[in-house]
Every structure is written in structure tokens, then in C-alpha cells.
Amino acid sequence: MIVFGSRMYFKKNVVKSFEECEHCGAYGKMTSYKARKFGHIYFIPLIPMGKSSQVLRECKGCSRGAHIPVDQLEPMVDSVADQFKSLIVSVSEGETEVEVQPGGPKMNIGAMIAGIMGDLYCLKEIESVDSISDVLLANNLNFENELVQAKWSELTGNLDGARDHYDAAHRQKPADPIPIYRKAMTELRSKRIEAAESDFKKYLQLVPDDIQAHAQLAGIYESQKKFDQVVAAYDEIFKLNPANLTNKHLKKTYKKACKKSGAQGAFLAQM
């Protein structure tokens, strides 16, 4: 039998990160690197197939990631770096919030830095969070520093560290929803289900209309076979977005939970 096919070869600037795949939704190890696709026979690369490209966040589970031709990479890296430098300048000027788009809503500068830092890390443009942390602490942005340190811990696979930093940020600003939601996600990924449930409930007290948080709780209740609470969570989801009533998977889960719990869900009659 002749083994042939194609794959990426001669990988350079390999970076491992831990994130949620934007394609399959699974959380786990992602790989970013520069390489070139070759056709191979018996895994010997023989036929080049296109130019070299930068692969960002290739998922270990589904093997999908973003492929950027190397000749388009430099302008993208420059754009991300310019955004990052602009945020650092804003920090030095005492800003704690910036507009995502001109005239749009403002977002915490620590959360913005954390997001861009993830891109720079995967592009192998930064290898340490220390200098960023020094700038934030020098400007007394302790809350923002906790968000950045938490994101760095997440990227490097240290979920316990991420949880501790998000917890510290939450204690500094209990009314800010970002750290408690992120803490809930780290607890969930660490399989600390009861802690995750508690944190999602705290988050929903701050942001009661977040469907994603209700969906996370529904998944937790389903894993615990707490079917009456599954029904209650789905009632909130359907109330917030009635369009979900047409989703076959959601309908099936909802009906099953109603049957298992004996509860008459608020939307059961509509199915």
C-alpha cells in the first residue's frame, strides 16, 4: 500500500498555547508555527503545494487553524504591534478604559491588552509577561495587571494560576463581570464543577441576560443530572432568544429534561 497525502512540513517558530478552538469549541493545546505544505509519499515531502504560511492556533483536536501567507504576515504583525503599543501609551497616560472602535463602547484596558497579548504570544513576538506587568504596576493598575497575568497563565496552560489571578481581580472589583466569568471558565476547564457553578451564578447576578452563561450552567446541570435545573436554565435561554426554540439539539435536550424531572417547562407547549 502506498501512503500519500499532504501536510505542513519544516515548522519554525513553534509556539504552544492553551485556548478554546474557534472551530470546534474544544479547549486544549493549540500550536502556532511557520511552515510550508508539501505533498508526500511515505511521509517524505516531495511536492511543494503553495507558499510558506503562518499557522495560528492549530487545534490538536480538529487540526484546524488560521493559515496566513507569509507575504501577508508582516502587515498583520505590524498592525497588532501598533495596537499593543497604543494601549501601553494609554496606560502611561493614566487611562483605564479605551474605545474598541471610535465612538463605540469603552473596554477595560487590561482586558484589551490581554487579548492582543495572546496574538503576540502565538506569533512569537513576546515570550514573557514581566515587562507588561511592570508597566501596569508602575501606573497602579493592579486590577488590570491581574487580568493580564491571568491571561498569560491561561496561554501557558497554568489554569490554577489563572484562577488565582482572576479571583484576585474579582476581589478588587466585585462589580466587574469579566474576572468572575473568566474564573468560572477556568474552574470548569479544571473540572471543579461546583466552583464553576457558583461563579456562573455570581456572574449572572451582574449580567443576567448573557445566554452563554446560562448555556454553561445548563451543561453543568446536565452533567450532574439535575434535570429540573436544566429545564430552568433552558427556560432562560429561550426567553432571552426565542429563535433558539427552532434548534433541534436544544429542543431534544429540553424535552428530555422536562420528562426526566417531571417539570412543565415554560416553553414545552411550543414544541
What digits encode the pLDDT tens for the residues 213-269? 999 999 999 999 999 999 999 999 999 999 999 999 999 999 999 999 998 899 998
Model confidence band, residue 44 (pLDDT cutoffs 50, 70, 90): low
Question: pLDDT category, 40, cuts 50, 70, 90?
Answer: low
* pTM across the whole model: 0.89
Residue 7 above 70 pLDDT?
no
Give residue for cell 472589583.
173
Whole-number pLDDT of residue 103: 79
Euclidean distance between CA atoms 225 and 86, whole angstroms: 48
pLDDT (tens digit per residue) in 103-155:
788 899 999 999 999 999 999 999 999 999 999 999 999 999 999 999 999 99
Q: Is residue 2 predicted with pLDDT exceeding 60? A: no
